[in-house]
Structure 1
Amino acid sequence: MSYKTLWQGRTDTEDGVRGQRWHQVVNVAPTDSQRDTIALIGYPVDQGVVLNKGRPGAGGGPNALRQSLSSLPWVIEGSLSDHGDISPQSTLPQTQQRYSDSVTELLSHHQCVLGLGGGHDIARGSFHGLQQFTGKQARIGIINFDAHLDLRKPAPHSSSGTPFRDISEWCKNNSRTFNYCCMGVSVAANTPALFDYARQTDTLWLEDIDFDLNTATSVLPTFLSRIDTLYVTVCMDAFPASAAPGVSAPAAVGIDAATVINLIRWLGRYCRQHTITWSLSDIAELSPFFDKENKTARLAARIAFELTRAMTK
């Protein structure tokens, strides 16, 4: 099924423009000259999840997310375009490079980009796409909502469990600072070796049992003071399995969705107040095959809704 046919849903014609929904405003045939407020790009990739020995299924994430976004109200004063999915390549690094190039191109033509994953290996492509766009001098900060640090050592190949280690090694080899924060980390889902590497790289993390708005907003300003460009990535396995069963590795505890939404809104305000550029976000690990009653897809759509508002408001 073409992604273009997924954009359909409820209409409220009696409310005019103020009653429009995502499926009514999205442009599925954007031109090269078009400049939109939000550009969507899909990463329908399971390669990294399989290499990480997780449950495959995230390749169907982009279309499931499109379907759940379709009937949400359009509240942004601007335009929306969907640029379809990248084509997976024969190797994961090639796929990530293809996605990275697409992100760079979209950022050069649109105000903000939202990536629709796909395994969390999307993060490596997102970071490098943003880095190529911003140039060598930009101080990029990564905030990851995730039960996993995803700092695994490639063994020998990169996977959905290695993206931030891959980025860290790239930063080291290119004399750049690795600015990484992981919110919602489960001590029961990460080995001591991963925490050792997190300490070595000055990674900031907050455990799932400690995650609340007051704590998060008290530790983030110091982290944000070191950057001028923000990239936010949300792994759906950060949430409890009861709220997000359709993921490659369901969480036993997880973090509260309402708190994540409030923190995303806080980040939007903070970035505007402190002139931090935030133009790229993505959502990862939505696996519709395992999703019960579309719970995970609906939650992912709400997170996407909040991310786009925060980046543009």
Structure 2
Amino acid sequence: MKKSNKDNWSGRIDHHENRSSFRYHQIVDLVNIHTTNPSPNTCAIIGFECEEGVRRNNGRLGAAQAPNAVRSELAKLPWKSPETTRLVDIGNIQCDGNELEQAQQQLGDAVAETLTKEMTPIILGGGHETAYGHYLGVRKFIGEKASLGIINIDAHFDIRPYNEHSSSGTMFRQILEQDNNCSYFVAGIQRYGNTQELFDRADTLGVTYEYEENMHIGNMDKLTLSLENFINRHDAIFLTLCTDVLNAAFAPGVSAPSPFGLEPAVVRSIIRTVTSHKKTLSFDISEVSPSLDENNRTVKLGAYLTNEAITTFLGGKIHDSSS
């Protein structure tokens, strides 16, 4: 784990003492996860500087630069959470060469330790292979017998074969074929972004999905109900966002830009719905690629969406309908 650089957390200061005037860079604490004490009501930033999975998947590179770039945009945003809350940054995990699986295991260990210390992991990828390391940590924390639900906001299923090697396009198939206590919901699937074989495989694996074309801000009630029903069937949930789900007009700096992607307001609504639930343990954002961006638009949007997750996590939980 590489300690985060304080230079990533800087910005305007409106007041040095009045907390209601503070921005992220005035709130965040850089900590060592191994030595810090348990800290409820805390979100913990974990960076995953890795794009080996994207490279193996023949995608456009650049996502390894995202964790620090997103931090720099988060730093400028106003801090809106209650005084009893806290934000910490535990640093970055780096992928050495092509050692993807080792980096994913390191991420899993960091996520599990963060959860054990009563903090909420906020993971800044990285390619979407980030999600497999995220999964390893959540599963380690909740144990093998607990029912785990994965909610993915994505244009793609990411359930390709992994016979030769894993990548940013295989991780959810890896999870579903290796974990009998796990289910998978994808919101934002594009009809022409996935082959028919992948749709057939999704049906075989029992994947729940919603098409991008059905998802707009005036038609969210049905999706919200589906998400809540999915959440209520599981003991724990984690949320993952692949930014290639967004319309390329808003997010050009991603591995696989989409002309028919979702509007940011729709993604924000899903994030709020899922992270407001008491069963949701963690969040990751992946495939922001600063080197492919235009005027920092995708990085800034990624920071704003991450802020939605943090603010909702720290703003209070709702109870599921079964409790």
- TM-score (norm: length of structure 2): 0.90
Paired amino acid for 1:60: Q
In the TM superposition, what are the counterparts of 1:28-177 in structure 2 within 5 Å?
28-30=30-32, 32-36=35-39, 37-77=42-82, 78-89=85-96, 90-171=98-179, 176-177=180-181
User: What is the alpha-carbon distance in structure 2 between the residues aligned to residue 184 and residue 295 of structure 1?
Assistant: 21
- TM-score (norm: length of structure 1): 0.93
| TM-superposed deviation, 1:240 | 0.6
Partner of 1:19: 21
Q: Is the 8 A contact 2:149 2:231 kept in 1?
A: yes
Q: Bigger CA drift: 149-158 or 285-294? A: 149-158
Aligned mate of 1:280, from 262, 279, 282: 282
User: What is the alpha-carbon distance in structure 2 between the residues aligned to residue 246 and residue 170 of structure 1?
Assistant: 33
Q: Is the 8 A contact 2:239 2:274 kept in 1?
A: no
Computed over aligned residues only, the root mean square deviation of the Cα atoms, in angstroms, reads 1.7
Unaligned runs of 5+ in 1: none
Q: Is the 8 A contact 2:52 2:100 kept in 1?
A: yes
| TM-superposed deviation, 1:159 | 0.2
Unaligned runs of 5+ in 2: 316-323
| TM-superposed deviation, 1:30 | 4.2
| TM-superposed deviation, 1:248 | 0.5
Partner of 2:296: 294
Which segments of structure 1 move beyond 4 Å, counting only runs of 4 or more? none
Paired amino acid for 1:237: D
Q: Which one has a larger percent helix, Structure 1 or Structure 2?
A: 1
Q: Is the 8 A contact 1:103 1:130 kept in 2?
A: yes
* Residues 110-166 of structure 1, C-alpha deviations (whole Å, 9 max, x = no match): 320100000000111101100001112221111101111111111510000111011
User: What is the alpha-carbon distance in structure 2 between the residues aligned to residue 138 and residue 256 of structure 1?
Assistant: 34
| TM-superposed deviation, 1:91 | 1.9
Aligned mate of 1:198, from 198, 202, 218: 202
Identity over aligned pairs, percent? 37
Paired amino acid for 2:176: S
Secondary structure, counterpart of 2:26 in structure 1:
helix
Q: Is the 8 A contact 1:178 1:201 kept in 2?
A: no
Aligned mate of 1:210, from 202, 211, 214: 214
| TM-superposed deviation, 1:14 | 7.3
Cα distance, 1:117–1:252 mapped onto 2, change above 3 Å:
same
User: What is the alpha-carbon distance in structure 1 between the residues aligned to residue 36 and residue 225 of structure 2?
Assistant: 42
| Residue 267, structure 1, aligned to residue 274, structure 2 | yes
Secondary structure, counterpart of 1:144 in structure 2:
strand
* Residues 196-234 of structure 1, C-alpha deviations (whole Å, 9 max, x = no match): 111011111111111131231132233222112110001
Partner of 1:238: 245
| TM-superposed deviation, 1:266 | 2.5
| TM-superposed deviation, 1:67 | 0.7
| TM-superposed deviation, 1:265 | 2.0
Paired amino acid for 1:289: S
* Residues 26-80 of structure 1, C-alpha deviations (whole Å, 9 max, x = no match): 1123461333401111001010000000001000010111011001111122111
Secondary structure, counterpart of 1:13 in structure 2:
coil
Partner of 1:225: 232
Paired amino acid for 1:262: S
Paired amino acid for 2:78: P
Cα distance, 1:2–1:83 mapped onto 2, change above 3 Å:
closer
Paired amino acid for 1:279: L
